[in-house]
Amino acid sequence: MFKPTVEAIIEAAVNKRDYMNEQLPRYFISTLLAGAYVGLAIILIFTLGGPLAAAGSPFQGLVMGASFGLALTLVIFAGSELFTGNHMFFTMSTLAGRTTYKDTFKNWGIVFVGNLIGALLLCLLILGTGLFKAAPAEHLIFTAAANKMTAPLTELFFRGILCNWLVCLAIWMSFRAKDDISKLVLIWWCLFAFIASGYEHSVANMTLLSLASLLPNAPEVITLGGWLHNMIPVTLGNMVGGILFMGMAYWFISPVKSKKVSNAPTEHADAVHKHVS
């Protein structure tokens, strides 16, 4: 039923694997970019949402959700490597026998670290702008970070599952869409749902939680321990969402016959796939 899309995603994963193995420094730069791109969208939605939260506006979630599509639009259209999207890619390619478990975990480890460094570098740039230096302790960026750092672990885990289900759905549908306008609309809807519903995304939280920790007026509840309290269950939840609800589910619906795993560079190993994400 969905075999052409599954095959396209598998081929993209193989290209990612080959580029990672053959051109690791260049590939790593693409992981930095994804962390920064998602972070730019976080800065946007909290810049817009801060005044609305202070005014008690009921439209805060609507405005923030409607603005976050920037994140995946940049990741997909500009091209970069996103940790959460690669859960779907490498699950399908490994189930099809085109990549190995070693390839998969190597990729996820490299991309997670790269996304984190990219997010941290963006935080340093934002600190340099002075945009949030006068933000009071009750500013939305602090209250949101504090809530994320103190929420129950199980709730964070399940929010992470639902979040990456939507993120990977956006990527999946971008492969099925025939034109760029359709892709933009599909990405927008999925990310609108994720932000407005209050789900948790590990890469987005890399910027939000780190920036909140680095700002001068951060309340005491914002700590490294709180950062880990959020990041660990959210990352695990994101993995379940991408692996089980997308990668395994759609491969099971439209399985691609296994092929012998090859570590030789593919014809396009010198170029990152158009849909790297």
| Residue type, position 198, single letter | G
pLDDT tens digit sequence for 203-249? 999 999 999 999 988 999 999 999 999 999 999 999 999 999 999 99
- Tokens at 237, concatenated: 């939840």
State how far Cα 6 lies from the chain centre: 20
Domain covering 3-253 in this structure, CATH number: 1.20.1080.10
State how far Cα 66 lies from the chain centre: 17
pLDDT tens digit sequence for 23-65? 999 999 999 999 999 999 999 999 999 999 999 999 999 999 9
How far is the C-alpha of 155 from the C-alpha of 192, rounded, in Å?
20
SS3 at position 275: coil
Contact 186/177 with Cβ under 8 angstroms? yes
Q: What is the pTM of this model?
A: 0.92
Kindly list the domain boundaries of the chain, sorted by start residue: 3-253
How far is the C-alpha of 175 from the C-alpha of 193, rounded, in Å?
19
- Tokens at 188, concatenated: 């927008």
How far is the C-alpha of 126 from the C-alpha of 54, rounded, in Å?
21
**71 Cβ contact list (under 8 Å, min separation 6):** 37, 38, 40, 41, 42, 191, 204
